Chains A and B, each alone.
Chain A
């Protein structure tokens, strides 16, 4: 478990980590909002336990940080850390390269 922590931010990211980072890219969010954002962006259903579990581990890896909450003090709000943003960018690059590769091979039908 602890061995996986440092590699959590290394590409390729797991789907959960990637989508949570993606959700937080626009600004800090609380758990439920992350859940909704992930559902919208990835059509992926995540439960609250998985979200908070992932957030904890991402916190350990220095990708995100819990913020002292401003408005609704009953919810924990998480924000992206610089390392998290770098990890997201690296992964985005990787995906872009992959997408380019996919395009070059003309695997996506309906695209010319």
Chain B
């Protein structure tokens, strides 16, 4: 043969453009024709003819092939083909399942429970832990914090001058940027509202590796005061501007100042992610950090530790290198401080933490435990479905053997059973999706808000498919197992013997026993874990929060700098607000303060006590709340010593303070703390002394179940002037106003809003809530995991009981004849009852034993989640087997009673 030319090879490849039917029929002819064309007319002429030909004929051939396939499908469905018997199988399977409603219902619900719970929890875990944050190579991003080594203040933001120094000093990162959360009042068209914003240096967006969806992010030249530009989140753009593409270049009014919109971020973009304790609230608007002359100056040293620094690792640098480098930076930074500050800050340190660890660190363990729990639930579900399907196969032996005798091939029987399994799983899956969706929706908004990276949790299709496939596999494998292991001979034997024997009876019985034991064991593990969480939650709920505020309504206001630039304006606004709220008829007491109890988002400040017990610990950090009005009465915090603030102390700065019991006992344990003094900052600080006039009860601050934090309360009057002197401080601009009513709390919302509107109609009101709600929110994460785990464990318990019941009931049904013989031969009904119960309880006890061993291992992982409860909590470990034994006994008793009621003669005749 002649050698093939390149053109021929190319043409042969091009032939793959045709549908395979066409190619299969004509490829040889086409190639032969082209070869002939080549020979007769030459390469150029051949291609001139063939290329347009391809363009014309390929689409036509595809259209024809499609039409042909469609016709084929249509005819195959109606014809007596393989498809036809499939349809018959479906019809038959539906009929068979409808005829066994209890079996069908229990199996479907079991499957639905497993599929639903797993899909929901895995979707949640996936959204939080597995879905990457969308930044470029997020694992190479790190956050940098400052802190003071060896103190409780070990993780705070970075001071602006330190950030500037660090940018020049560091070697591990290819780029670094800094940001801090800033609340903004958004006004203009529509209701004024408070939104979360973030001020960030121009380098942050490039460090994250993200670009704007529309417009651009910030230029380096815009990162300075006076350049008022803004980038909007996709959500804000949609919500406030109806996704108007012409919004770029327009003005957005933030804190009553005009900002030019330069960009819109993509919909998926969220920054910062939740998780970090500072600057961890996703922003709706981004503005340049724009450090001013003051923040860059030496005067800002030792102040404003509020920036989070983010860095992207240099190409060759790893996280360990960055962590080491950061660790060594502290002393270098201290050398740049003015001499009088170097002593006090000498323990300054810098820590670097991988961004991902920072985002997921706190929620990882509870979520993984939930994930483990649903995994166990899935195992229980599989064991149970296997058991149910096996039992059913036994009752259908006769039907199957009849079919076999009538000539149904093994293949055909398999197909039939397969179809039943598939139908069951499909029904279970559909119901499971329903349940999963409900669970995902039930995830309280607070949880989704407090979890990092979760904007919307949706059912994850892959998980749904996976759980679905696993359950389908279980249903099918165990459904056809008896058929597969049995010989054909067995099938006919069976018919001859009247269906009294099971297919592979002993083997199947062992298998079922094993399945029951394992589902009992798994239920014990789940019950023990749930029990521990429940006990821990009860203890947590019993914790004294230190406040009594059943009828307190609070709302938050923020005074924009543009309208309230001086201390006078700020102060008179709050005074006026307090007066007006106090004047609402149902209000018993009212106060205005910088932060609410239980929220843990207040200011932390260093202070130095006058007569330290231990001189080295003279300086420490305490939570500080600035108050105006009747704070202690409003929140029901008891004054244990001394007195509250006098009205005149509220209005002018007299250097008075009230401290919490924990603080008083730490610094002046055996003395009267009244009249003792402290000052803000370090001993060398030239701040004036503050005199303690009262001691109040400890209040839980932040997380329930953690020891009380030392707390200092100061009249608001003292804060105004110094706080407003610092440009970046939002401290006294953002305050909450709280009032106690003697009527319905909700009825207070409108009068309080009205009181604010009278003073400033343009002012946005945020976070309208009750203290009862704040308390509920504080325990929401624990409640969520406890409720879920209890639900899972109860489900598992129920399944284990059903499994046990099902196995025994089927056993009794199978052995009716044997029982009849025993009774006829003189066995008492009691003995028969005992026989069945003993069989069931033996399996239960084995399961409980295995389960307790498993639970002891599993609950050890939960240590960090438990409050005042040991993982080996005796109460839990005694009550769980108890509960299980009771439930199991019930599950055994019902079939046993049926066995005991067998009429010997009827049973014998029945065969």
Contacts and interface: CB of A to CB of B under 8 A. Distances in A.
A49 interface: yes
A109 B64 CA distance: 44
Interface string A46-57: 111111110011
B484 interface: no
B63 A32 contact: no
A45 to B, nearest CB: 6
A31 B50 CA distance: 14
A105 interface: no
B667 to A, nearest CB: 91
Contacts of B52: 47
A78 to B, nearest CB: 10
A46 B54 CA distance: 11
B36 interface: yes
A21 B139 CA distance: 69
Contacts of A56: 22, 25, 61, 64
Contacts of B22: 52-53, 56
A98 B33 CA distance: 35
B50 A48 contact: yes
Determine chain A's interface SS by DSSP, over half rule: helix
A45 B48 CA distance: 10
A42 interface: no
B57 A49 contact: yes
A74 B71 CA distance: 30
A49 B58 contact: yes
Contacts of B29: 30-31, 48, 52, 75-76
Centre residue among A45, A46, A50, A51 by max chain B CB count within 10 A: A50
Interface string A1-45: 110000000000000000000000000001110010000000001
Given A2-B67, A32-B36, A52 B49 contact: no
B53 A50 contact: yes
B88 interface: no
Interface string B24-61: 01101110111011000000000001101110111011
A91 to B, nearest CB: 21
A57 B64 contact: yes
Contact of A47 (B56, B63, B64): B56
A1 B53 contact: no
B18 interface: yes
Contact of B30 (A2, A45, A48): A48
B33 A32 contact: yes
A57 B60 CA distance: 10
B32 A49 contact: no
A85 B32 CA distance: 28
A47 B30 CA distance: 9
A1 B58 CA distance: 14
Interface string B603-617: 000000000000000
Given A2-B71, A31-B29, A35-B33, A47 B61 contact: no
Nearest to B34: A48
Nearest to B46: A47
Contacts of B57: 47, 49-50, 52-53
A76 B54 CA distance: 20
A76 B32 CA distance: 11
A45 B49 contact: yes
B30 A49 contact: yes
Contact of A31 (B33, B60, B67): B33
A74 B57 CA distance: 22
Contacts of A52: 22, 25-26, 29-30, 57
Contacts of B32: 31-32, 74-75
Determine chain B's interface SS by DSSP, over half rule: helix
A22 B184 CA distance: 83
Contacts of A57: 64
Contacts of A45: 49
A49 B53 contact: yes
Contacts of B56: 47, 49-50
A45 B63 CA distance: 23
A56 B22 CA distance: 9
Interface string A66-84: 0000000011100000000
B419 to A, nearest CB: 33
Contacts of A35: 33
B28 A74 contact: yes
Given A1-B67, A53-B60, A46 B53 contact: yes
Contacts of A46: 53
Contacts of B36: 32
A1 B18 CA distance: 16
A53 B19 CA distance: 11
B67 A48 contact: no
Given A2-B71, A47-B49, A74-B28, A53 B34 contact: no
Nearest to B60: A53
Nearest to B51: A47
B26 to A, nearest CB: 5
Nearest to B63: A1
Contacts of A50: 53, 56-57
A46 B33 CA distance: 12
A35 B64 CA distance: 22
Nearest to A32: B33
Contacts of B67: 1-2
A73 B823 CA distance: 83
Contacts of B58: 49
A32 B71 CA distance: 31
A51 B37 CA distance: 14
Centre residue among A1, A46, A76 by max chain B CB count within 10 A: A1
Contacts of B61: 49, 53, 56
A59 to B, nearest CB: 10
A12 B63 CA distance: 23
B690 to A, nearest CB: 90
A31 to B, nearest CB: 5
Nearest to A55: B26
A87 to B, nearest CB: 19
A32 B46 CA distance: 13
Contact of B26 (A1, A47, A76): A76
A74 B32 CA distance: 9
A68 B213 CA distance: 64
A47 B28 contact: no
Interface string B68-85: 000100000000000000
A49 B64 contact: no
B71 A47 contact: no
A75 B25 CA distance: 11
Contacts of A47: 49-50, 52-54, 56-57
B28 A49 contact: no
Contacts of B63: 1
A45 B843 CA distance: 84
Centre residue among B22, B26, B63, B67 by max chain A CB count within 10 A: B26
A20 B434 CA distance: 61
Contact of A1 (B33, B37, B54, B64): B64
B64 A53 contact: yes
Nearest to B15: A49
Contacts of B64: 1, 53, 56-57
A46 to B, nearest CB: 7
A50 B25 CA distance: 14
Contacts of A53: 22, 57, 60-61, 64
A32 B607 CA distance: 100
5 contacts: A1-B67, A47-B57, A49-B53, A49-B58, A56-B25
The 10 closest A-B pairs by CB, nearest first: A47-B53, A49-B57, A48-B33, A53-B57, A2-B67, A52-B26, A32-B33, A1-B67, A1-B63, A49-B53
Given A2-B67, A48-B30, A76-B29, 18 more contacts: A1-B66, A30-B29, A31-B29, A31-B32, A32-B32, A32-B36, A47-B53, A47-B56, A48-B37, A49-B30, A49-B50, A49-B56, A49-B57, A49-B61, A52-B57, A56-B64, A74-B32, A75-B32
Interface of B: 18, 22, 25-26, 28-30, 32-34, 36-37, 49-50, 52-54, 56-58, 60-61, 63-64, 66-67, 71
